[in-house]
């Protein structure tokens, strides 16, 4: 699983990255968490405000810091969608 944090590297971006890392660790999944700070790369996604959370190239949240429970739900949904595509 590939997870991206979109934003300039501000405090809110770091908070989102930390919460995401905690959710990934609690789920015990293998995921790469990448920070995307380049504005040209960020504008490749349908995002108006940062930070943004992208899971497997799908923007799932932007402009806010979701709770760890919300992040866990986003990841779980993405995992379910991935397994449905394989079946």
Active site residue 10: yes
- Per the residue annotation, which of 3, 5, 6, 13 is the catalytic one? 13
How far is residue 84's CA from residue 78's CA, in Å, rounded to a whole number?
Answer: 10
- Per the residue annotation, which of 2, 10, 18, 33 is the catalytic one? 10
Tell me how crowded residue 60 is: count the other CB atoms within 10 A of its CB: 18
Active site residue 61: no
Residues assigned a catalytic role: 10, 13
């Amino acid at each position: 699983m590939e997870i991206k944090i979109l934003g300039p590297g501000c405090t809110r971006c770091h908070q989102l990255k930390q919460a995401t890392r905690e959710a990934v660790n609690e789920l015990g999944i293998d995921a790469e968490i990448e920070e995307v700070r380049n504005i040209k790369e960020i504008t490749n996604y349908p995002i108006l405000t940062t930070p943004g959370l992208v899971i497997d190239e799908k923007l799932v949240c932007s402009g806010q810091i979701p709770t760890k429970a919300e992040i866990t739900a986003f990841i779980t949904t993405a995992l379910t969608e991935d397994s449905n595509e394989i079946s």
